Amino acid sequence: MTTNLGYEEGSVCNRGGCTGTIATHKSENCSCHIAPPCSSCTSPRNYCPDCDWQEKDDPLVIMEITTIYLPIGGVKRTKRVLDHTKIDYRIEMHSSSSQLCIGVYPPGTTSADVVKVVQGTFGGRFKHFGNGKFEYVAYTD
């Protein structure tokens, strides 16, 4: 089962029996000194040096970035990998009357199952549905 796969730095990879330890590529072109945190520092940079797995290339990895406001001087962003053993998604702004639901689902899930979870007040439509991932525009107003 894929729930034992490593995603965070220091965890065991476990992809195809790999016993490598997940590491993180150094941030390139960091602009945190101008506006922290920068996209370079919050982009998927984890990898396994033993089996060459790259977080940025993994089709099942969809990151949710959470911003935490610190009391003195700034923000900190944390990542959450969406759980593809259930219908899991994050929400992004789309327009003044809709939101974009970007997520994952387990094998055997139908598009109707996903709609039951993410449908907006006034319906919606899929931009993409397949291979365990979806993008759904939910009409909210």
- Of 33, 48, 81, which one is at a domain's C-terminal end? 81
What pLDDT shows up at residue 110? 95
98 and 76 in a common domain: no
Q: How many CB atoms lie within 10 A of CB 80?
A: 13
115 and 61 in a common domain: no
d(CA 44, CA 121): 33
Domain coverage including residue 125: 88-139
- Of 34, 55, 81, which one is at a domain's C-terminal end? 81
92 and 74 in a common domain: no
Q: What is the pLDDT of residues 4-57, one digit of tens each?
A: 888 888 999 999 889 999 999 988 888 877 777 777 777 788 999 999 999 888
- Of 81, 101, 119, which one is at a domain's C-terminal end? 81
Question: How many domains are there within the chain?
Answer: 2
